[in-house]
């Protein structure tokens, strides 16, 4: 009896230790320190991404007219909370993203593809100006923004203060299985009152998306959906060609083995020729996305 009890306790402890030691993988990260310091910035591609296709887009609410809010840079951003990869060194640039007024006419969409991942956790640092909107409303879409829902979110709204504060939102793929392994996942923020004036804003910095990798079977399922694109030659010396079955606007980003963006372009041809002579020898990933940020293909190749 004592042996059985001891075995049970050890099993519980080991199981708990395993869960505690599990470390989510950083999938996407915006630190904004390279943001354009002008006004009306848009299509903010993630500063770091393991799979590509991540960007922040400001969209006018249908029927709002021309007088829409916009996004610009904000300084100083936060340098303490949720900082990754030493992105905010002393003496370096410290920017954030600001959702400008009037806020009733815009929505901010974060394209956060989850292909190959589950158990997502979204974190960001935020604050409001003295006259800024006092509520942030959250929704997400699993079909690139055609429909919106809240069923898989651990929180659906937040009341920001004038101090930088860390917000953590779990996106529960057990509640909504379409959250995981989805290249069409989008998170949306709309701002509550006061949101019609010419002053007042909300600010964001150090946005991260983390998650756990899927099983081998699930990864194979992703690969099966991307067979319409091919890459050759592989290995390659000077050039690669990414070939698709049809023409159409698409973005191509190349990442190195640690997830750093080393090249990006936009093209509408069926066969896109890319010069890779400037790349060091090693393994790379070419990520093809459509104009909404949805991942169409992830192709591995070797530069000799």
Each of the 304 residues of the chain gets a pLDDT tens digit; together they read 444 444 444 444 444 333 333 578 899 999 999 888 877 888 899 988 888 889 999 888 777 665 567 889 999 999 999 998 888 888 888 999 999 888 888 899 999 999 989 999 999 999 999 999 999 999 999 999 999 999 999 999 999 999 999 999 999 999 999 999 999 999 999 999 988 888 889 999 999 999 998 853 333 444 434 446 888 888 899 999 988 766 678 889 898 876 778 998 888 888 899 999 999 988 888 888 876 666 778 888 889 9
Q: What is the CA radius of gyration of the chain?
A: 21
Dump pLDDT digits (tens) for 1-41: 444 444 444 444 444 333 333 578 899 999 999 888 877 88
Distance of CA 104 to the CA centre of its chain: 24
Q: In this structure, what are the phi and psi dihedrals at residue 3, rounded to the nearest 5 degrees?
A: -65, -40
**Angle (nearest 5°) at CA 20 between 19 and 21:** 95
Q: For the segment 209-229, what is each residue's pLDDT rounded down to a tens digit?
A: 999 988 533 334 444 344 468
> Is residue 110 a contact partner of residue 144, using CB atoms and an 8 Å limit?
no
Per-residue pLDDT, 86: 83
Closest to 155 measured CA to CA, from 172, 143, 180: 172
> Pick from 100, 112, 103, 128: which is nearest to 56 by CA?
112
User: Using CB atoms within 10 A of its CB, is residue 11 exposed (0-12), middle (13-18) or buried (19+)?
Assistant: exposed
What are the domain boundaries of the chain?
21-213, 226-303
226-303: CATH number:
2.60.40.3080
> Mean pLDDT in the chain?
84
**Secondary structure of residue 270 in the 3-state scheme:** coil
pTM for the complete prediction?
Answer: 0.67
Measured CA to CA, the distance from residue 55 to residue 260 in angstroms comes to 15
Protein fold of 21-213: Jelly Rolls (2.60.120)
Report whether 35 contacts 55 (CB < 8 A): no
């Amino acid at each position: 009896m004592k042996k059985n009890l001891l075995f049970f306790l050890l099993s519980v402890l080991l199981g708990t230790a395993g869960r505690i030691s599990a470390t989510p993988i950083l999938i996407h990260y915006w630190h904004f320190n390279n943001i354009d310091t002008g006004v009306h910035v848009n299509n903010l591609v993630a500063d770091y991404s393991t799979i590509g296709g991540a960007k922040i887009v400001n969209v006018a609410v249908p029927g709002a007219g021309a007088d829409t809010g916009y996004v610009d840079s904000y300084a100083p951003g936060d340098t303490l909370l949720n900082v990754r990869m030493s992105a905010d060194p002393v003496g370096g640039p410290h920017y954030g993203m600001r959702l400008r007024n009037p806020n009733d006419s815009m929505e901010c969409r974060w394209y956060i593809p989850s292909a190959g991942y589950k158990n997502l956790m979204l974190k960001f640092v935020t604050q409001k100006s003295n006259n800024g909107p006092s509520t942030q409303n959250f929704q997400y879409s699993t079909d690139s923004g055609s429909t919106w829902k809240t069923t898989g979110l651990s929180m659906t709204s937040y009341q920001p203060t004038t101090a930088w504060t860390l917000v953590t939102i779990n996106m529960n793929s057990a509640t909504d299985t379409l959250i995981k392994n989805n290249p069409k996942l989008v998170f949306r923020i709309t701002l509550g009152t006061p949101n019609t004036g010419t002053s007042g804003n909300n600010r964001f910095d150090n946005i991260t998306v983390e998650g756990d990798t899927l099983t081998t079977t699930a990864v194979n399922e992703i690969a099966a959906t991307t067979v319409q694109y091919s890459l050759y030659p592989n290995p390659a010396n000077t050039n690669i060609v990414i070939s698709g079955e049809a023409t159409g606007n698409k973005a191509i980003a190349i990442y190195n083995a640690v997830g750093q963006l080393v090249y990006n372009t936009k093209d509408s041809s069926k066969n896109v020729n890319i010069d890779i002579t400037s790349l060091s020898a090693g393994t790379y990933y070419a990520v093809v996305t459509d104009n909404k940020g949805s991942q169409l293909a992830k192709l591995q190749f070797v530069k000799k």
